[in-house]
Amino acid sequence: MSEQKLQPLREKIDAIDAQLIDLLNQRARVAQEVGHVKAETNAPVFRPEREAQVLLKVAERNAGPLLGADLQAIFREVMSACRALEKRVTVAYLGPEGTFSEQAVFRQFGHAVLGSPCASIDQVFRDVEAGTADFGVAPIENSSEGVINRTLDLLLQTTLTISGEISIPIHHSLMTKSGKMDGVTRICAHPQALAQCDAWLKQNYPNIVRDAVSSNAQAAVMAKESDNVAAIAGDIAAQTYGLQIVAAHIQDDPHNRTRFAVIGRLQTLPSARDQTSIVLSVPNQAGAVYRLLAPLAQHGVSMTRFESRPARMGAWDYYFYVDIEGHAQDAKVAQALQELKANAAFYKLLGSYPASF
């Protein structure tokens, strides 16, 4: 009886799928026409502001029952596949495969890209600067552990700009070859992952040695090669290296997230939901920082992040990394930035880009 009820519904789904396939290929053909126009003017293949606008419209037009985020994920992959018909973009990231950095690449660009895993954040920057990668993805801040200082230092030094940001939830899992902990004598992970799971590990496996390694993906490789090793990593690492999950979501902070910057040579245009990042320094004088930032309040520009780093050029000199709402081409933002630049001892615009979803 249930089969008789299911059959007409399955036929309806098959008919809808046929329509979807036809519509997707229609979209792809139009995307190819866009690619031809871009080629005539040497315009960039990847336009993050345009893709951000598409994703915003998807959420606005969605009437359910699909969740807006799920529908956006589908459209992100559609855009990725269509973009690849023009050119498959190469993206450098902190490797090896199976890291949260690789997950961030897929979150921003979709899966129709050429991922280029790098041994260090420095190499990510070098590869993009040298032109061997079109873009790079570098971790910039973790909600539990704070900023990634090396990324901030490299952003100060590089000629590259930020053209996007990605914020992803960090869900750590404990994994082994067998999915069990029998015979495991070491739990390996990146130092930050071990710190983020400290309370859970103390409660559940207080007597097993913890070893810090270069990355969670490296820990996954070690677990793949040894029955005595368990790894802490994301689910993407379990899939990549053929491991079984012992326990999922073992991070102490259920809201733990990491923010990544997309770096490249692309200057993005306004998307209607943007963020601008700058670096400033001021003379070591009382009230100097307050006076420097005053134009933001005067022009109604919201500051969303303020971080200081030692300048390492003298006693008690600092660079200030500031994120503000809006695009550098927005009238009020442009006015505020002009005044900031005039009053700062040092000023660098790191980029204006679509804010993460």
pLDDT string in tens for the chain (357-residue length): 578 889 999 999 999 999 999 999 999 999 999 988 988 888 898 999 999 999 999 999 999 999 999 999 999 999 999 999 999 999 999 988 888 899 999 999 999 999 999 999 999 999 999 999 999 999 999 887 788 889 999 999 999 999 999 999 989 999 999 999 999 999 999 998 999 999 999 999 999 999 999 889 899 999 999 999 999 999 989 999 999 999 999 999 888 899 999 999 999 999 989 999 999 998 777 777 888 899 999 999 999 999 988 876 555 578 999 999 999 999 999 999 999 999 898 999 999 999 987
CA–CA dist 196, 357 (Å, integer):
24
Collect all residues with Cβ–Cβ distance below 8 Å to 340 and sequence separation of at least 6. 278, 280, 292, 293, 295, 296, 347
Let me know if 260 is a catalytic residue. Answer: yes
Residue 321 token pair = 């990394």
What DSSP state is assigned to residue 84?
Answer: H
Distance of CA 354 to the CA centre of its chain: 12
Can you give the pTM of this predicted structure? 0.88
Let me know if 357 is a catalytic residue. Answer: no
Query: Which of 46, 260, 268, 320 is an active site residue?
Result: 260
Query: Which of 151, 258, 268, 276 is an active site residue?
Result: 258
